[in-house]
A and B are shown apart, each in its own frame.
Chain A
């Protein structure tokens, strides 16, 4: 909640500073800046790159600030770490009261420490000592050394001078103490506002993991091998899918019989999510490479077939007529008119198919695999290695994004006429 408010505040402040301050100094002078009507004109909305940079930096800063990263100068209040104490007052059945002090040592989450050595002190209630990790809580077993215990009818009546009863909760220095329904004490040190590493590790922990796994590996394979295998499966599966799907799409676009024969199959298979095929593929082909590749082949096949078919039907009939009137044969029309004219559609399909394949391979590896990016994060999550999970997600995102950019570049290069006719 607070995080959301901070995020909105940064958004607003950055907007104010950039719009009112900096933009005045570096206003753009181009065609679009001369437009008088801009609101509602989509072409006049150009992403403010400065906003993009601030957005990414903000996310990173918030991540660092709320995980206590060394890379970020400001931090959200962290959990209490160190030695603290509170005093409880025990009342014996005969009405006698005695104070005892509980010494708590809170150590950082990833370390271990022993409780302090303390003097038992006078009276029937003896001083106690506990040690616990940050973000955790600990039950104070005061009965272990006290001379009159709860089983004798004694009970805790005050903590740091504040009256308590079973079920109540009081603030003490650096934490709270809750009295359980059975009358024992539960010490909870201040958790602060930072995330536990087990929920969200600091950025440097993730980077350290990248270094570690790229050299030493995880689950018998290095990071690059995991990623390579995932990519390799995507590319092989996609290639097979395109190799079969594109000719199939052309056949469906050109022949009544093919259209009739494959229409029900393609139209039925297209809406089936590839993920729903995972169980069947595992039954048929096991969890090895062939199963993954069959799955990705099926994911890409229908998309490529449909885009090739759409590409054929998108050919302007005037072009086909022109080619006929210039004396081209059917084969030549296919080769010189239909295929090049359907390339833009096929590229659009290929981009979609690559995206779907990448998503499917990660999901398939989550279910069962010996290597791969999805398997890496799945196994890591079972061992609560959140930094590996986070690293895997970031790398999967980066790779998916790079694939899309590469496909777009290839498209610009191979079909420069797209959208210009």
Chain B
């Protein structure tokens, strides 16, 4: 599970955060340290491993959260708007990282996002949800994540097919929104 933000343990160093899962499971240091170091390399935080979490930037903190989650070797990773609080540039870099991790580890990732673009870039299977009551509104199968691995994400975004899909989903969401709002306006009367 990767949270929006603020779910790191700020009284621990970066390394202790990442190794939290194995430590709680009572595994020996020798067993997990190699894996933890590898993950720190993957998220690019090897040189920050002894720093305290509160000394890191928002993007680095989310990378710690990602590594911490992976250290536990889960089969399914749930990410609840993990990139929502990041600035545009960091977000783009993190999207590349999530994509790479997905491909390298082969794990199932359920990622919740408000950004249609992010969903298109990272998702194989896209579920659009509607509010009040919460339900799945529409389902799509997408090719961009599979083809986007290793590529510059901006080239993917320039793809006309990508833009077409984005417009399609956005207008669908707009329609859905109007429909719901319309209902809400009628309801009190």
Residue of B nearest to A325 (CB): B1
Residues from chain A with Cβ under 8 Å of B1 in the complex: 321-322, 325
CB distance from A332 to the nearest CB of B (A): 5
Given A326-B72, A327-B72, A332-B24, residue A421 in contact with residue B10 (CB < 8 A): yes
A316 touches B11 (CB 8 A): no
Report the separation of the CA atoms of residues A316 and B5 in the bound assembly, to the nearest whole angstrom.
11
Specify which of B9, B21, B24 is in contact with A329 (CB 8 Å cutoff): B24
A416 touches B20 (CB 8 A): no
Question: Is B162 in contact with chain A by the CB < 8 A criterion?
Answer: no
A328 touches B7 (CB 8 A): no
Residues from chain B with Cβ under 8 Å of A343 in the complex: 11
Tell me if A's interface is mostly helix, strand, loop or mixed: helix
Question: Is A417 in contact with chain B by the CB < 8 A criterion?
Answer: yes
Interface size class of B (residues with CB under 8 A): 20 to 34
B7 touches A319 (CB 8 A): yes
Residues from chain A with Cβ under 8 Å of B143 in the complex: none
A336 touches B24 (CB 8 A): yes
B6 touches A328 (CB 8 A): no
A285-328 interface code vs B (CB 8 A; 1 in, 0 out): 00000000000000000000000000000001011011101111
Residues from chain A with Cβ under 8 Å of B32 in the complex: none
CB contact list, B44-62 vs A, under 8 A: 52-54
Residues from chain A with Cβ under 8 Å of B68 in the complex: 322, 326
A417 touches B52 (CB 8 A): yes
B10 touches A420 (CB 8 A): yes
Question: Is A386 in contact with chain B by the CB < 8 A criterion?
Answer: no
Report the separation of the CA atoms of residues A238 and B144 in the bound assembly, to the nearest whole angstrom.
64
Residues from chain B with Cβ under 8 Å of A318 in the complex: 3-4, 6-7
Residues from chain A with Cβ under 8 Å of B89 in the complex: none
Given A321-B3, A325-B1, A327-B72, residue A417 in contact with residue B24 (CB < 8 A): no
B24-47 interface code vs A (CB 8 A; 1 in, 0 out): 110000000000000000000000
Given A316-B6, A327-B24, residue A340 in contact with residue B54 (CB < 8 A): no
Residues from chain B with Cβ under 8 Å of A337 in the complex: 9
Report the separation of the CA atoms of residues A327 and B20 in the bound assembly, to the nearest whole angstrom.
9
Residue of B nearest to A319 (CB): B7
B24 touches A328 (CB 8 A): yes
Report the separation of the CA atoms of residues A322 and B2 in the bound assembly, to the nearest whole angstrom.
8
Residues from chain A with Cβ under 8 Å of B3 in the complex: 318, 321-322
Question: Is A341 in contact with chain B by the CB < 8 A criterion?
Answer: yes
Residues from chain B with Cβ under 8 Å of A325 in the complex: 1, 69
Q: A319-B6, A336-B24 are in contact. List 9 more A-B contacts (CB 8 A).
A: A318-B3, A318-B6, A319-B8, A319-B9, A321-B7, A325-B1, A328-B24, A337-B9, A340-B11
17 contacts between A and B (CB under 8 A): A316-B6, A321-B3, A322-B3, A322-B7, A323-B20, A325-B69, A326-B24, A326-B72, A327-B24, A328-B20, A336-B9, A337-B9, A340-B11, A343-B11, A416-B52, A417-B11, A421-B10
Interface residues of B (CB under 8 A from A): 1, 3-4, 6-11, 20-21, 24-25, 52-54, 65, 68-69, 72
Interface residues of A (CB under 8 A from B): 316, 318-319, 321-323, 325-329, 332, 336-337, 340-341, 343, 415-417, 420-421
